[in-house]
Amino acid sequence: MQLTLIDWTIVALYFALNIGIGFYYKARAGKSVNEFFLSGRDVPWWLAGLSMVATTFAADTPLAVTGMVARGGIAGNWLWWNFVASGMLTVFFYARLWRRSGVMTDVEFSEIRYSGKPAAFLRGFRAVYFGIPINCIVLGWVNLAMVKILSLILGVNKLTALLIVLGMIAVTSFISTLSGLWGVLVTDAIQFFIKMTMVVVLAIFAVHAVGGMDALKLKLMALDQARGVATGGHGSVLSFVPDLDSVWMPMITFLVYISLNWWATWYPGAEPGGGGYIAQRMFSAKNEKHSLLATLFFNVMHYAVRPWPWILTALVSVVVYPGLADPESGFVLVMIDFLPASLRGLMVAAFAAAFMSTIATNLNWGASYLVNDFYRRFVNKKASDRHYVTVSKLATVLLTILSAIVTFYMDSIAGAWKLLIVTGAGTGGVLLLRWFWWRINAWSELSAMISAFVVSVTLQTAGKLDSDKPVDFAWIMMITVAITTAVWLLATFLTKPEPDEVLKAFYRRTYPSRFGWKRIAAMVPEVKAPGDGMWNLLDWICGCVFIYCTLFGVGKIILGHLAMGMGMLVAGFVAGAIIFWNLSHRGWSTLSE
């Protein structure tokens, strides 16, 4: 694809804007570690929510979705659509609890919920494990997406593209270390609007290029028929839920997605109960109300608003480029072949925005683990805030270098997604229950993490199961969740509970529901925990209905099923109205403004 001087000028102006924002927030970020990592806990809900959305809209996301659609049809998106249920749990059960905890990172939570050496070890272990290897895998697949994009746009090899990406990371790292979380948040908001606008524009031109929606559907029907003849199955690439004998997605994989994935697995941005950079945004919010609203806004935008431009472009790539060795590249090929030359500079800037927003967040988030939960906790406890900010910048550089090495040896974005999902399979139950069951202790979490890793790796090495194959993925998930759950439950009952004083302090600090804490609640009668569990459950159900009905309603309208689509949107609107009424009369009014 040929880029003109105007295109390069647009890209240069985009980078200049980001650097300008970095310098604007430089003085504020350097005041303290709290300002650098949490923006002084003074972020409004809309900015925190936009930042969550921008972070999860990386350069890898449209490419990964294209690969999912090429392999599994629209239903292939259930790999991440299933996390709606987990996201709604975070909104209505956990967002306010996280904000009350007052911690700087979700890893720090270990030492307010648990005690002694096991808690300290858990905190340090999680800080290093999530801060370096896991974070570098995430950074690696984001880098890989940009490498693929640049390789196709500029016609260069992987190594050359990676060197260009390193230059982009250097700029992003500079902005992140210069401005802290404030700079990340503000650039995220700008970047989201750039990239969302351009993927919508690309989808419109892509569909038009194949003759419109009706022509696209006819070509996809022919593809269904050809695949059905080849495999002896049936089903449609356009199905939102796979048929029992689908040629696109095995039913066992779909059932695992909707029954296990959403609650049992740890995945960045969709942690059961919240965690990682999602938790970081909740900590940075002004108060509990803003924490809840930010997380609700994120889930609505993430699942109900963003997917269809990606999916439409992916469907076009399936019919225009059948049999691609790397189906993820289909998204970029559509851009190269069908986007008008006048918009190419903006599209490259949009990809850069998608890339930089995620990189900036993961660098800042990973550095917060390494500095707050490892270096300051275990290495140097009494240094000045200025010293810790300096160490944070060095940690950011370290993560940048390590992520580049990971990128060089990585091939598949969706494959890396699945690898992380199965590696964290079975840990979700502990992460959810640690807030609502006093008996959970540090050994519960440690045993779950270790067991999940060992079992999943063993199944993939000794058992020869491949997480990138749908049926193998399903079996890895079921076996790992079953064994991991049994292990952490056994560890919980074979080890001592946390001391009562620690549990009482935690209960006073966060006052979760009395359910699961009755023994501790009886010791601190002055704490009046809200009895809102059933209301939260209603909101959770309505939240899931709202998002799925909106997602599928919009999809049905796009695909020409107007009546069904409008019916789904009406059902979603009713569910949303129930949430608004309920929280207006019960939840929001009880929280500080």
Residue 466 CA to residue 459 CA, distance in Å, equals 9
Residue 296 CA to residue 575 CA, distance in Å, equals 14
- Within a domain: 44: yes
**C-alpha dist (Å) from residue 362 to 52, 280, 308:** 11, 11, 26
The DSSP-derived string for 131-180 is: IIIIHHHHHHHHHHHHHHHHHHHH---HHHHHHHHHHHHHHHHHHHHHHH
Please tell me the pTM assigned to this model.
0.86
Q: Do 62 and 191 fall within a single domain?
A: yes
Q: What would the pLDDT profile of 164-215 be if each residue is shown by its tens digit?
A: 888 888 887 777 666 777 777 888 888 888 889 999 999 999 999 999 999 9
**C-alpha dist (Å) from residue 412 to 138, 143, 148, 457:** 12, 11, 10, 18
Are the CB atoms for 514 and 460 separated by under 8 Å?
no
Q: Do 46 and 192 fall within a single domain?
A: yes
- Domain hosting 329: range is 5-211+247-411
> What CATH number is attached to the domain comprising 278?
1.20.1730.10
Instruction: Give the pLDDT score at 592.
Output: 38
- Within a domain: 513: no
Among 34, 138, 60, smallest CA distance to 366 is for 138
Q: Do 394 and 539 fall within a single domain?
A: no
**C-alpha dist (Å) from residue 492 to 430, 434, 446:** 10, 11, 10
Residue 207 CA to residue 557 CA, distance in Å, equals 15
- Token pair recorded at residue 403: 């992520």
- Within a domain: 24: yes
Residue 186 CA to residue 201 CA, distance in Å, equals 24
Q: Residue holding tokens 């909104």?
A: 91
- Token pair recorded at residue 180: 């802290």
- Amino acid identity for residue 453 in this structure: F
**C-alpha dist (Å) from residue 519 to 34, 507, 514:** 35, 11, 9
- Within a domain: 433: no
- Token pair recorded at residue 475: 């079996």
Are the CB atoms for 240 and 349 separated by under 8 Å?
no
- Of the residues 343, 377, 411, the one at which a domain ends: 411
Q: Do 407 and 537 fall within a single domain?
A: no
Q: How many distinct helices (H) and strands (E) make up the chain?
A: 29, 0
Q: Do 406 and 536 fall within a single domain?
A: no
- Of the residues 361, 396, 411, the one at which a domain ends: 411
Burial (Cβ within 10 Å: 0-12, 13-18, ≥19) of residue 200: middle
Q: How many CB atoms lie within 10 A of CB 180?
A: 30
Q: Do 407 and 547 fall within a single domain?
A: no
- State how many domains the chain has: 2
> Residues in the chain with pLDDT < 50?
229, 589-593
- Within a domain: 88: yes
N residues, the chain: 593
- Within a domain: 447: no
Q: Residue holding tokens 């109205």?
A: 577
- Of the residues 411, 439, 457, the one at which a domain ends: 411
- Within a domain: 566: yes
Phi, psi dihedrals of residue 568, rounded to the nearest 5°: -65, -40
- Token pair recorded at residue 307: 């997917």
Are the CB atoms for 40 and 194 separated by under 8 Å?
no
Residue 584 CA to residue 290 CA, distance in Å, equals 14
- Token pair recorded at residue 463: 């058992």
- Within a domain: 497: no
Instruction: Give the pLDDT score at 230.
Output: 53
Are the CB atoms for 263 and 251 separated by under 8 Å?
no
Are the CB atoms for 97 and 436 separated by under 8 Å?
no
Burial (Cβ within 10 Å: 0-12, 13-18, ≥19) of residue 324: middle
Q: How many CB atoms lie within 10 A of CB 386?
A: 12
Q: What would the pLDDT profile of 501-517 be if each residue is shown by its tens digit?
A: 999 999 999 988 888 99
Among 51, 49, 57, 361, smallest CA distance to 197 is for 57
3-class SS of residue 285: strand
Report the first-to-last Cα separation within the chain, whole angstroms: 51
Residue 127 CA to residue 322 CA, distance in Å, equals 43
Instruction: Give the pLDDT score at 590.
Output: 44
CA 138 to chain centre: 10
